Amino acid sequence: MENLEHEGKRNNARKRRISLSALEELQSLVDKVNILKYSRENINDEMSNRSVNDNQQNDDVIDNCDQEEFPITKESLSTRSGKSTTIHFLAGSKMIEKKINGLNHIAPTAIKNLDLKYIKTAPFAKSVTQYITSVSFKPEDVGIYSSNSIILCDSPGFYDTRGPEVDIANGIGIVKAIKGCKSVKPVVLVSYKSSGDRYEGLKNLTHLLAGLIPGIKDYIQAFSYLFTKYPENERDTIHASLKDIYSTLNEKEKSNISFMNILTDMLYKTEDGAQIIDPIKSNAIHRSDEDFQFTITKNSRDTVHEQLRKYQSNIRSGIKRFDYALIKYKLDQLKTLNDLFNQEYIKQIHIDCIRDLSTHLSEEYQEGISILNRCLMYQTILTNEDIKNYQTYINHANHVEELQLRHAHLGKDVVHSSAFI
């Protein structure tokens, strides 16, 4: 009987070890899944940062130019509107029609300007322009008599086909490049293919411009509009299309003053037919560092808002579960977004999350101190539960210090773990 009991205990111990091992493996798997989940559910920060850095390299080229002698012309906005092709045309490349994989394409040939070798064109739906690229040339090289030089800047489009990460990075890069210029002359390309049957694309483009320059009315004369990819039988309908958009605006759109200023300007400048307005002789925007602001498309903005909501939810959940490693990870990501965009609504969420964590840690400290105070005041003996709770609060505070949460995010207002001793 004793042998059976002894054998039974050994079997039970073995079963417990097997169960414990299985639980540990399961916990390890859960941790790995959570890490994978956290990394996948976020905006691709690495892609965004890489795209911003690529744009920064060309920003430096613009900043290093003698801006008294280089009036800067910027080209921007929708993906696949023909910006890169137009850059080649304006800078003197000879253009030819050809087919690529069965698609019609106007391609540059006999490229004389070495800067143009970085300007890629393609007929495909996928974006090929990945970051801002500058092309410097002298107008006299293309038959325009002027002693000045011009920098044409080819930019990635908004609504980039590679996703919100690239779209957001493009928004940051374009505005940073503009702010580094002494003056800018925006050339807005409106693509027939991107306009849409109900002109949604054209309306989105106009809203985007309104977000880019809040006080656009004062600088509207600096804008030029080029209409691309319009079939022969549609070229004389551009002004009528704009009038149709104007007549069907809803009240919310009519109340957007910047939006209305742009649309009215487009109507005015196409009244006698859509023409290529001379961007060299038109007035420039001379305070580009003050007059332009960061903007992104509505879809990308919605993506950022959703991401911020997830960050905040993750941080609050982490506080409830005392998961300070997760909290640090999410606060770091939130700080990166805040530093990248410098937008008030992101800054506010960052502040709110820090306040939530600070409040939690302060409450634990106050609860721990109150345990000791009660003991001293009423001359009572600390219970095992009191000691356990106090030790838990110390462990939490120590973990916060080990992760450098206080140094990176919380500041000196949060009590140091040494205050418990």
- Summarize pLDDT for 271-299 with one digit per residue, the tens: 887 754 333 444 544 554 555 455 666 77
pLDDT at residue 169 tops 60: yes
Q: How is residue 248 written in tokens?
A: 């069907």
Task: Label residue 314 by pLDDT band (50, 70, 90).
Answer: very high
Q: Can you give the pTM of this predicted structure? A: 0.49
Q: What is the pLDDT of residue 34?
A: 47
Helix residue spans in 213-323 (DSSP H): 238-247, 251-254, 257-269, 288-291, 298-320
Confidence (pLDDT) at 390? 83
- The whole-number average pLDDT for the span 47-63 is 49
Question: Could you tell me which residue, 310 or 344, shows the higher pLDDT?
Answer: 310
Mean pLDDT of 36-40: 42
Q: Residues 229-258: what's their mean pLDDT?
A: 86
Which tokens go with 259? 């939006």
Most confident of 85-99, 121-135, 283-297, 359-373: 359-373
74 DSSP β-pair partners: 153, 186
Select 55-296's CATH number: 3.30.70, 3.30.1330, 1.20.120, 3.40.50: 3.40.50
Backbone angles phi, psi at 267, to 5 degrees: -60, -45
Tokens for 54, please give them. 């690529």
What type of residue sits at position 298?
Answer: K
Please report where in the chains the tokens 């809040």 appear, as a residue. Answer: 214
Q: What long-range pairs does 46-52 form, CB within 8 A, spacing at least 24? A: 47/163, 47/165, 47/166, 47/169, 48/165, 48/166, 48/168, 48/169, 48/340, 49/169, 49/336, 49/340, 50/169, 51/130, 51/131, 51/165, 51/166, 51/169, 51/170, 51/173, 52/169, 52/172, 52/173, 52/340
Residues paired with 158 in a beta bridge: 78
- Best-predicted range by mean pLDDT (5-9, 213-217, 384-388): 384-388
pLDDT reported for residue 198: 64
Residue 17 token pair: 């070890």
Tokens 């807005």 — which residue?
A: 188
Tell me the pLDDT of the chain averaged across its residues.
Answer: 71
pLDDT grade for 394, boundaries at 50, 70 and 90: confident
Residue 202 in contact with residue 195, Cβ under 8 Å? yes
Residue type, 108: P
For residue 195, pLDDT over 80 is answered with no
Instruction: Yes or no: say if 335 and 376 are a contact pair by the CB < 8 Å rule.
Output: no
- Alpha carbon distance, N-terminus to C-terminus of the chain: 54
The total number of residues written for the chain in this structure: 421
- As a whole number, mean pLDDT of residues 340-365 equals 87
